Structure 1
Amino acid sequence: MFTLPSLPYAYNALEPYYDEQTLRIHHDKHHQGYVNGLNKAETKLQEARDQGDFSLIKHWERELAFNGSGHILHTMFWENMIPGGSTLSGEVAGRIDRDFGNFQAFKKQFSAAAAGVEGSGWCTLVWVPKFQKLEILQIEKHQDLTLWGCIPLLILDVWEHAYYLKHQNRRADYINDWWNIVNWDDVNRRYLEALS
């Protein structure tokens, strides 16, 4: 069974950009809910296999995709942030320049994509091995509008529960604050792993 991972920092460590109260609720309640949903889906799918009854397969497969993706994306989201942020460097910095022209062009596109996610979802920087380049994707819900075979490197949660207590309906302000706590060392590590 899956468990909720601990945060890699204290609840108040991302202040003032990501507030403690939101972080507590987001991690302890929302992320825990996806872990619970994933475990329930896995249990129900095992029961279906054991009993040979697949009458609810579409429902439990959907629950698996939604909650499993929510768990994976949230886990990466926590790891992609660090108190005080870090400086973009390493091989991923050069790749961003190559694929987007420069960091500012990348940041503008990523911010616009994050702000433009329709309803609830995510924005992510991914490495696409088949294309041999970085791309920016919007992910609606947790599992829609993905690109098969891509490897996520940088994740931004733009569900309202991720920012509403501090930023209310000002998603653009939340995105702007988030850039101050990005863990580029983690992004670079993920990029190097994707290349190997």
Structure 2
Amino acid sequence: MFQLRNLPFAQEEIADFLSAKTFEYHYGKHHQTYVNNLNNLIAGSEFENANLLEIILKSNGGIFNNAAQVFNHDFFWDCISPKATPMSSELKNAIEKDFNSIEAFKEEFINKATTLFGAGWCWLALNGEKLEILQTSNAQVPMTEGKIPLLVVDVWEHAYYIDYKNARPNYLTKFWDFANWEFVSKIYLEAKTKGMDAIKNYTLSLHS
């Protein structure tokens, strides 16, 4: 059985980004519901004892949607830090190589997250040796395309509407201020050395 993960920060530590009400709905209700739904759907199925990444890569329909949304939210919370964290020189060099500069990367990332139509996610992902910014709709994840996620922002309306109304760019700019570059740098290093096992190991660290 999967459980709602513990978070590496308290709500009040990110109050300048997400209010207590948004946090309650996003983490305590939406994220929890995906966990509950996944447990109900896999009970007695071929996925009952599978790890989260295996379920995501091999399932479809409701099982996939809920498993992927558990992962997406797990990953989103780790991409947030209440304190400024450093970007590794390896990640910085890779971003500058593939996007010309950190500022150009920021601009493209926020633009793609802003222009994603409807509900979904915006990612920085590793595709072979190259970094890419991806838009995914609904519950879709980079792993199904063989790409390894490094950073994600949630652009479903429940992630920001209470606090920012329809001003998605304001939410995204504030997200950037809270981005956990230490976590992104760690995942990037593991992705470079371990490939998709970096994500398998990540999910197992939360859902053993």
TM-score, length of structure 2 as denominator length = 0.83
Q: Distance in 2 between matches of 1:18 and 1:34?
A: 20
Q: TM-score, normalised by structure 1?
A: 0.87
Partner-residue secondary structure (3-state), 2:132: strand
How far is the alpha carbon of 1:17 from its aligned partner?
Answer: 1.9
* Matching residue's letter, 2:89: G
The residue type equivalent to 2:37 in the other structure is G
CA distance, structure 2, for counterparts of residue 147 and residue 136 of structure 1: 15
Give the 5 Å matches for 1:1-196.
1-43=1-43, 45-46=45-46, 61-129=60-128, 132-143=129-140, 148-196=145-193
CA deviations 1:54-109 (Å, max 9, x no partner) are xxxxxx83111111110001001001101033233331111000010001111111
CA–CA separation in structure 2 for the residues paired with 1:103 and 1:160 = 27
Deviation at 1:38, TM superposition (A): 1.2
Tell me the distance in 1 between the aligned counterparts of 2:64 and 2:84.
Answer: 31
Gaps (5+ residues) in structure 1? Answer: 48-59
Identity among equivalent positions (%) equals 37
Distance change in 2, residues 1:144/1:17 (3 Å) = closer
Deviation at 1:118, TM superposition (A): 1.1
Aligned to 1:52: none
In 1, are the aligned partners of 2:142 and 2:148 still within 8 Å (CA)?
no
The 3-state SS of whatever aligns with 1:194 is helix
Higher gyration radius (CA): 1
Residue type at the aligned position of 1:72: F
Kept in 2: contact 1:138–1:146 (CA 8 A): no
Structure 2: how far apart are the matches of 1:19 and 1:85? 19
- Greater shift, 110-119 or 12-21, is seen at 12-21
- Report deviation, 1:167: 0.2
State the SS of the aligned residue for 1:72: helix
